[in-house]
Amino acid sequence: MLKMYTIMAPEKELKPGEQLFAQGDWGDKCFIVQKGSIHLYYNQKLFAMIPQGEILGEMALIEENKRFATARAGKDGARLYELSKDRFLKLVKERPEFSLEILKCMSSRLRTWGSLNIR
């Protein structure tokens, strides 16, 4: 679980349905869901839910690209840890176990989302 890497990370609170970021926005930070969930939409269609303990927004940081999807808080809202690009890259370089957790998360998503026709 990624929670252990969030010491000193700022927190962000979202009300139910509140938007975190939009598809096409530039990604300058990523987030770890501390409480609640985040729903992801591609072209306004819901395709995934990010539960407590998982990361989101990391793809835009890694690829230095725009956001693939729009992210909104689930029905109970969400509390997130916010990681700047600098903090994310520092964790990747200094904590191999953090990188492994990110890879596990991304691999699981590829396995699950790969079968979806979201384009």
Span 25-79, pLDDT tens digits: 999 999 999 999 999 999 999 989 999 989 999 988 888 899 999 999 999 999 9
CB of 23 within 8 A of CB of 70?
Answer: yes
**Across the chain, how many H-helices and E-strands are there?**
3, 6
Residue 53: burial class (beta carbons within 10 Å; 0-12, 13-18, 19+) = middle
Closest-CA residue to 76 (of 35, 20, 31, 16)? 16
Question: How many domains is the chain built from?
Answer: 1
State the chain's mean pLDDT as an integer. 87
- Measured CA to CA, the distance from residue 18 to residue 1 in angstroms comes to 25
31 in a domain, yes or no? yes
Return the CATH number at 40: 2.60.120.10
Percent of the chain scoring above 90 in pLDDT? 57
118 in a domain, yes or no? no
66 in a domain, yes or no? yes
Range of the domain at 7: 2-113
Token pair, residue 25, equals 């926005």
Q: Is the dihedral of CA 111, 47, 23, 72 positive or negative?
A: negative
7 in a domain, yes or no? yes
119 in a domain, yes or no? no
Q: Is the dihedral of CA 115, 45, 33, 92 positive or negative?
A: positive
CB of 21 within 8 A of CB of 57?
Answer: yes
